């Protein structure tokens, strides 16, 4: 073997060792951070696409559900690929009393500042007085204007707000009676009303036309009962549609109750707080804490991961509305992240996130 051959073999050996050497800490950091940001961009990008398709009639609720669940299934799929469980990202019930105590304590601590701050914000917007609201309401499933599909239908839906204005819309000629145990006040569409516009019984006499006709009203009673006729025949229930999804119901009476509040709690807990916390504090923060160490100051966890994941959380909210005030969620996001790091669980941030959203929703209703 010649000297030149030996030198070539030695160079090849050193080259192979260099290729086999593990990447540096800096390289590992950039690779891990790049992978995390790629998952974020893909997940949020698909969510944004589904959000922009929200006008597709009856598909709206399914697309939005799919968009929220992406924040669960994408991290869960990554865990599955690495033979890990959801507990790796903090979704477990270990030491749950501690998590509940942290979430409840912080909620009580922040309750008065949140109410006062919201009141000052509403005053700044020019709403000086807070009206009294009743927790007895029609179901939230009625909220939202449906697309017009079958002109033979009579559609009933409500608007958001403390007065819950109910719209009855039709096209083919109808005669109808609306009844309640409290006063019904007609606020629009007066020309189609026979008799008084503020009574416990309102009669509709609506001729047909090329465009749909409507009556808008508020109900002070605990229920609203419908009775319609077309061509002097009772209108079958199959032609009476409720809410934006145009669902038919066996009863022609709508009742006010507290069920909307239960719907709100379940929606915020299962469809908002859980998916968002699993993605941002479960996946993103866990991965970033593997890059940057978590330090504590007076027992409060501090990390670059919490700062960056909160910036992404705020940017996502801004992306779905392009309103500057949406960026304010950065600050509660820091709190949610600190709870995740302090308890090593997602239970506390999920509970505090849901409770905060529910409180804000009720306060918004009080000032609408």
Q: Are 86 and 79 in contact (CB under 8 A)?
A: yes
pTM above 0.85, yes or no: no
> In Å, how far are 56, 59, 81, 141 from 154, measured between CA atoms?
21, 21, 51, 17
Whole-number pLDDT of residue 13: 45
CATH architecture of 140-257: Sandwich (2.60)
Report d(CA 356, CA 333) in Å as an integer. Answer: 11
CATH 2.60.40 domain locations along the chain: 140-257
Whole-number pLDDT of residue 60: 64
Whole-number pLDDT of residue 58: 57
- Name 116's Cβ contacts closer than 8 Å, sequence gap at least 6: none
Whole-number pLDDT of residue 128: 61
pLDDT tens for the 368 residues of the chain, in order: 555 555 555 555 444 434 455 667 777 788 888 889 999 999 999 888 887 776 665 566 677 788 888 899 899 998 988 888 899 999 999 999 999 999 999 999 999 999 888 888 888 877 666 666 677 888 878 888 887 778 888 999 988 766 789 999 998 888 999 999 999 999 999 999 998 999 999 999 887 667 889 999 999 999 999 999 988 899 888 888 888 876 666 678 888 888 888 888 999 999 999 999 999 999 999 999 988 889 999 989 999 999 999 999 999 999 988 888 889 999 999 999 999 999 999 999 999 999 999 999 888 877 76
Which is it for the CA torsion 17, 20, 22, 26, positive or negative? Answer: positive
Report d(CA 272, CA 65) in Å as an integer. Answer: 10
Whole-number pLDDT of residue 30: 83
Whole-number pLDDT of residue 18: 45
Whole-number pLDDT of residue 16: 47
Report d(CA 53, CA 344) in Å as an integer. Answer: 37
Whole-number pLDDT of residue 137: 85
């Amino acid at each position: 073997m010649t000297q030149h051959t030996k030198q070539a073999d030695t160079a090849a050996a050193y080259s192979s060792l260099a290729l086999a050497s593990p990447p540096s800490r800096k390289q590992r950091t950039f690779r891990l951070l790049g992978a995390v940001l790629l998952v974020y961009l893909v997940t949020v990008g698909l969510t944004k696409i589904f959000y922009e398709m929200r006008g597709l009639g009856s598909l709206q609720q399914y697309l939005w559900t799919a968009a929220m669940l992406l924040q669960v299934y994408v991290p869960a799929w990554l865990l599955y690929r690495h033979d890990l469980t959801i507990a790796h990202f903090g979704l477990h019930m270990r030491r749950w009393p501690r998590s509940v105590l942290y979430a409840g304590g912080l909620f009580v601590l922040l309750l008065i500042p949140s109410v006062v701050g919201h009141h000052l914000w509403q005053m700044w917007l020019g709403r000086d007085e807070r009206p009294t609201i009743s927790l007895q309401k029609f179901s939230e499933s009625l909220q939202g204007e449906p697309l017009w599909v079958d002109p033979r239908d009579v559609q009933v839906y409500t608007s958001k707000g403390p007065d819950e204005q109910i719209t009855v819309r039709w096209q083919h000629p109808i005669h109808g009676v609306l009844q309640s145990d409290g006063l019904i006040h007609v606020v629009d569409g007066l020309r189609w009303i026979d008799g008084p516009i503020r009574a416990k019984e309102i009669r509709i006499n609506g001729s047909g036309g090329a465009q749909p006709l409507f009556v808008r009203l508020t109900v002070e009673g605990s229920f609203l009962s419908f009775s319609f006729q077309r061509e002097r025949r009772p209108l079958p229930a199959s032609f009476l549609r409720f809410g934006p999804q145009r669902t038919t119901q066996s009863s022609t009476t709508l009742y006010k109750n507290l069920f909307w509040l239960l719907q709100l709690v379940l929606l915020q807990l299962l469809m908002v707080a859980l998916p968002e916390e699993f993605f941002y504090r479960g996946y993103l923060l866990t991965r970033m804490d593997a890059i940057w160490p978590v330090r504590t100051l007076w027992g409060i966890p501090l990390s670059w991961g919490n700062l960056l994941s909160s910036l992404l959380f705020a940017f996502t909210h801004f992306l779905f509305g392009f309103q500057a005030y949406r960026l304010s969620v950065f600050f509660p996001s820091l709190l949610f992240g600190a709870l995740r790091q302090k308890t090593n669980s997602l239970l506390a941030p999920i509970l505090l996130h849901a409770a905060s959203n529910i409180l804000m929703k009720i306060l918004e209703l009080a000032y609408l």
